[in-house]
């Protein structure tokens, strides 16, 4: 009898010790909905582990098969198989006053430790780590009010799928940090582009023919798009931020019709412009995009 009681007691103790990881996965309409976790918990300062780098080929696992397109799943090339996406959320409190609420897309059918999903959550984990480090690094300081009148520091942001087909997944991330007592907000943008055939993360230059004037051409059309959106006087008069340098076009997304370039706050215009975007039609880049490269099929579709 005492042995049975001991077993029952061990089971009850193990069940009561199970805790949530602070993440909540929410289906976006085309993925499944995993069981929700408990409410966000107060987190101690984290020691960030090195992110797993994408491998040169996809390990075991697959992108789910094609289905009917659903609003919110980003662009998809006609006739191309595209898998489901679910939203992985992370929220918590740091230092008693700072809060964060972040989300990013993950591909259903692939594990959370799959290199593709690791890359898709890298931007949110990086900005969270920076936020936590900034708060814990100023321990003992008193917190005033945020830019919106609320108390404490806050970090908010999410990733939006621009394209998901059988070759590419393109996601653009937007973040906003409101530091307590600051008169201005800290807006950020980031992006991830992954070749689903190889598992490799791509830069913008990987899409174009080597040695071609792709940077100059994108800069020309990006300036036209920004002038149409902000006006000639809305940009810095010296044209800064639009020079033909790869670092100026680091943040971008792909759709079936356009290359979408995002610029940081103050990069090409005063802060009132926020983080503006410029769209360049694939048809304007024909002859520059590598026809056998990752984005060759998008240019072919635009013809």
**How do residues 77-97 score in pLDDT, each as one tens digit?**
333 333 588 899 999 999 888
For residues 210 and 190, membership in a common domain is answered with no
Give the pLDDT of residue 139. 62
Out of 172, 187, 202, a domain closes at 202
Sorting pLDDT into bands at 50, 70 and 90, what band is 281?
very high
pTM: 0.72
> In whole angstroms, what is the distance from residue 25 CA to residue 88 CA?
4
Do the domain assignments include residue 123? yes
Distances in whole angstroms, Cα of residue 218 to Cα of each of 23, 224, 255, 270, 279 = 38, 10, 15, 21, 9
Do the domain assignments include residue 113? yes
% of residues, the chain, pLDDT over 70: 68
For residues 154 and 294, membership in a common domain is answered with no
Q: Rg (Cα) of the chain, in Å, rounded?
A: 22
Q: DSSP string spanning 134-154?
A: HHHTTTTPPP-B-TTS-BS-E
Distances in whole angstroms, Cα of residue 196 to Cα of each of 72, 170, 193, 232 = 20, 10, 9, 39
For residues 163 and 227, membership in a common domain is answered with no
**How do residues 254-271 score in pLDDT, each as one tens digit?**
999 999 999 999 999 999
Give the pLDDT of residue 83. 54
Classified as helix, coil or strand, 280 is: strand
Do the domain assignments include residue 63? yes
**How do residues 208-241 score in pLDDT, each as one tens digit?**
999 999 999 999 999 999 999 998 889 999 999 9
Compute the C-alpha angle 45/46/51, nearest 5°.
160
Q: Do 115 and 59 meet the contact criterion of CB atoms below 8 Å apart?
A: yes
- Domain with 37 in it: what CATH number? 3.30.565.40
Residue 29 has pLDDT above 60, yes or no: no
For residues 42 and 134, membership in a common domain is answered with yes
% of residues, the chain, pLDDT over 90: 58
For residues 216 and 195, membership in a common domain is answered with no
Sign of CA dihedral 61, 114, 109, 76: negative
Compute the C-alpha angle 85/87/89, nearest 5°.
160
Domain count, the chain: 2
Classified as helix, coil or strand, 69 is: coil
Sorting pLDDT into bands at 50, 70 and 90, what band is 25?
very low
- Domain with 277 in it: what CATH number? 3.90.640.20
Out of 202, 229, 247, a domain closes at 202
> In whole angstroms, what is the distance from residue 299 CA to residue 135 CA?
45
For residues 174 and 295, membership in a common domain is answered with no
For residues 180 and 267, membership in a common domain is answered with no
For residues 74 and 185, membership in a common domain is answered with yes
Mean pLDDT calculated for residue range 129-158: 72
Out of 182, 202, 222, a domain closes at 202
Do the domain assignments include residue 7? no
> In whole angstroms, what is the distance from residue 103 CA to residue 26 CA?
10
Q: Among the listed ranges 41-55, 85-99, 117-131, which one has the minimum average pLDDT value?
A: 41-55
For residues 123 and 235, membership in a common domain is answered with no
Q: Do 302 and 289 meet the contact criterion of CB atoms below 8 Å apart?
A: no
Residue 284 has pLDDT above 50, yes or no: yes
> In whole angstroms, what is the distance from residue 46 CA to residue 204 CA?
32
> In whole angstroms, what is the distance from residue 127 CA to residue 100 CA?
10
Q: Mean of the per-residue pLDDT values for the chain? A: 77
**How do residues 10-23 score in pLDDT, each as one tens digit?**
433 343 444 434 44
For residues 156 and 173, membership in a common domain is answered with yes
Do the domain assignments include residue 248? yes
Mean pLDDT calculated for residue range 188-196: 97
Do the domain assignments include residue 9? no
For residues 101 and 181, membership in a common domain is answered with yes
For residues 64 and 185, membership in a common domain is answered with yes
Question: Closest Cα to residue 172, out of 186, 188, 185?
Answer: 188
Could you give phi then psi for residue 131, rounded to 5 degrees? -65, -45
Do the domain assignments include residue 264? yes
Burial of 73 (0-12, 13-18, 19+ CB in 10 A): buried
Residue span of the structural domain in which 28 resides: 21-202
Per-residue burial over 89-106, b = 16 or more CB atoms within 10 Å of its CB, e = otherwise: bbbbbbbebbbbebbbbb
Do the domain assignments include residue 132? yes
């Amino acid at each position: 009898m005492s042995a049975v009681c001991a077993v029952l007691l061990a089971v009850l103790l193990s069940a009561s010790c199970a805790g949530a990881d602070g993440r909540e996965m929410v289906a976006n309409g085309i993925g499944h909905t995993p069981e929700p976790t408990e409410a966000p918990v107060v987190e101690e300062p984290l020691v960030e582990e090195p992110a797993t780098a994408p491998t040169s080929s996809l390990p075991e696992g697959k992108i789910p098969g094609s289905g009917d397109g659903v609003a919110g799943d980003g662009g998809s090339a006609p006739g191309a198989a595209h898998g489901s996406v679910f939203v992985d959320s992370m929220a918590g409190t740091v230092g008693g006053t700072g809060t964060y609420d972040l989300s990013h897309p993950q591909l259903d059918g692939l594990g959370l430790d799959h290199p593709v999903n690791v890359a898709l959550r890298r931007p949110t984990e990086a900005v969270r780590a920076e936020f936590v480090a900034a708060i814990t690094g100023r321990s003992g300081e008193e917190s005033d009010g945020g830019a919106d009148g609320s108390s404490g520091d806050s970090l908010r942001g999410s990733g939006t799928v621009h394209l998901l087909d059988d070759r590419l997944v393109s996601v653009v991330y937007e973040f906003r940090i409101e530091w307590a007592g600051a008169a201005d907000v800290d807006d950020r943008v980031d992006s991830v582009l992954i070749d689903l055939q190889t598992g490799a993360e791509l830069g913008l230059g990987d899409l174009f023919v080597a040695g071609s004037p792709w940077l100059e051409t994108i800069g020309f059309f990006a300036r036209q798009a920004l002038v149409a959106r902000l006006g000639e006087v809305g940009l810095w008069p010296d044209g800064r931020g639009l020079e033909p340098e790869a670092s100026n076009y680091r943040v971008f997304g792909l759709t079936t019709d356009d290359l979408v370039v995002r610029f940081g706050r103050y990069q090409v215009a005063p802060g009132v412009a926020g983080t503006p975007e410029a769209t360049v039609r694939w048809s304007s880049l024909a002859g520059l995009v590598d026809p056998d490269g990752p984005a060759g099929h998008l240019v072919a579709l635009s013809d």
